[in-house]
Amino acid sequence: MENWGNPPFKQYGDLNKSLKNVKDIPFKILLSHDPSHWNKEVIQKTDITLTLSGHTHGMQAGINLKNKKWSPIKYKYKQWAGLYEHHQQYLYVNRGLGWLGFPGRLGMRPEITFIELEN
């Protein structure tokens, strides 16, 4: 769907319009750039199973070890990297490949995600 973000980012997307012709499809995947969209309009308000987002880049800095992940971006975004679940609805936030502002990354490696769906 078209970009949906918290200000100062624009909210061009219309989730109801995006869902209009897919009511009978049981497994829905939503591509929504900003992960905060999941909390505000997706979980408990739709039957979208999987939302794929990015936007945060893990703030391009942080700690990402086995069971520990931390980045200062967590103070702005509740979901900022990895997989999240809420009552059979899932959000995956990819850390991305590029950068914004600072031309590099510190402890927050770029990411390409492979998701295999099984029946």
What's the whole-number mean pLDDT along residues 22-40? 93
pLDDT at 90: 97
What's the whole-number mean pLDDT along residues 40-60? 92
Can you give the three-state secondary structure of the chain, one letter per residue?
CCCECCCCCCECCCHHHHHCCCCCCCCCEEECCCCHHHHHHHCCCCCCCEEEECCCHHHHECEEECCEEECHHHHCCCCCCEEEEECCEEEEECCCCCCCCCCCCECCCCCCCCCCCCC
> What pLDDT, in 10s, does the model give residues 56-90?
888 899 987 888 889 988 998 999 999 999 999 99
- Going by pLDDT thresholds of 50, 70 and 90, the confidence category of residue 31 is very high
pLDDT at 41 over 90: yes
